[in-house]
Each structure stands twice: as structure tokens, then as C-alpha cells.
Amino acid sequence: MNIIVTGASRGIGYELVKLFAASAGNKVIAVARNAEKLEALKKDCAALQLPAEVIAIPSDLGNAGQLSALSEQIRSHVDSVDVLINNAGAIVNKPFPELTAADFEYVYKVNVFAVAALIQKVIPVMNAGQRSHIVNISSMGGFQGSAKFAGLSAYSSSKAALACLTECLAEEFRDSNIAFNCLALGAAQTEMLSEAFPGYKAPVSAVQMAQFIADFALKAHHFMNGKIIPLSMSTP
């Protein structure tokens, strides 16, 4: 199985790659901006003697030129893609009156525009022989009716846009062999959580969250399409 994971240099993405790499026969394409951390991930997988091939591709998804190059690199390594997990994300924690147009542009570029562009480039090589799955990683902050937090207006609204995009694509491609689903994650102990809520201790580890996401990515598309699933220990 050929699997792409973005945001693979840390946190949940890092753990997802290791989980998928544990299955022989998989090819796991790990995408992130930080080349050094991607190499550390490959060494980690090798040290654990994980049998799958891990392909590290450094790429800034917010850069249109690098995104086009990423598409060509993916095609050079695999003929088709079975699972795409859009896990990469950007956050700005700043009071709304202080947010600039550049802040909004930065967050939306990574969390929405880059995801849409990558999906456009990957869809032509999604596995037509069997049902494939695109999983978008959103946030409880972008889940309608959930508690919202001061300082995260740009981030949470971008994640709400990603959830809606998922529903739109599921409808547009419902006659294809591709399923689109979205997981709205609650708190997991990651570097991004620490950036948003310094000092907060999450009830779920990055490993535990990655385990759920990996299982969801491999199985859920046989049962659902166009769903926004809240994944949180608390109620909205």
C-alpha cells in the first residue's frame, strides 16, 4: 500500500509514519519542511527495523513551486496512491485585534490552500483499482458547536474551512473510487498543542492519536464518506 503523510517531521505525523512503516509491503512517503527531522525519522524507522520503505521528501506545502515539485517526486516513487493523510498544519496564537492579513494568509495557505492543491495533484494517481482514502486532519476548534478559544481565530476558522472542503469533495467525487473524510482532533500532546496552550497537559499522547488515525485511514473509507468526525475526550 502506498501512503502519503504530510507534517511528518514531528508529533502525530511522525508517529503515523512509524505505524505505517511497521507493515511490510507499504511505501510510506513522509512530507515535511524540515529535512533534518525527516532524516531522523528515517533513521528511527531503520533502528526499529520497520520493514516498509520510508521515502522522505522535504517540501514546504505553502510554496507553490515546491508543491509542484513534490507532485513530480511522488510520481517518481509510486505509480498510485492508496491513502493521503493531510496532517500538516500551521497555527498562529494571537488576539484577534492583533492578527494581520499576513497571519491569516499564512495559516490558510498551509491549512486550506495547500491541502486543496495537493489533493488536486494526487487525485490523478489515486489507486483506481480499489477504494482509496483521503483523510484531512482538522481540529475540534473548527468543529461547529464546539468550545472556541481566544487567540485561535485564524487557526480554528481555517480548520472549519478544511472540514467543509472535505464534504464538498466527497460530493464532487462520490461516483469515483475515492473517499474523503475529516477527523477533528481534540487535544493530543504535541508541539503544536504546546504552542497553542503552553503548560497544558493533554489526556491523549501523539502515539495514541496516531494509532486511531492510522486505523481510520486504512478502514473507515469502506463504511463512510464525507464525514467530519470529532475525536476528543470532551464533548463539544
Domains recognised in the chain with CATH numbers: 2-231 (3.40.50.720)
Lowest mean pLDDT segment, chosen from 38-42, 123-127, 163-167, 217-221: 123-127
φ, ψ (nearest 5 deg) of residue 40: -65, -35
> How many angstroms separate the CA atoms of 39 and 34, rounded?
9
Mean pLDDT along residues 213-221 = 98
Per-residue pLDDT at 189 exceeds 80 = no
116: number of CA atoms within 13 Å, CB side? 15
User: Which one is catalytic: 14, 106, 108, 155?
Assistant: 155
Mean pLDDT along residues 16-37 = 97
Asked if 106 is an active-site residue, the reply is: no
Mean pLDDT (the chain, rounded): 93
pTM flag (> 0.95): no
For 43-94, strand residue ranges (E) read: 53-58, 83-86
Predicted pLDDT at 147? 87
> How many angstroms separate the CA atoms of 7 and 18, rounded?
13
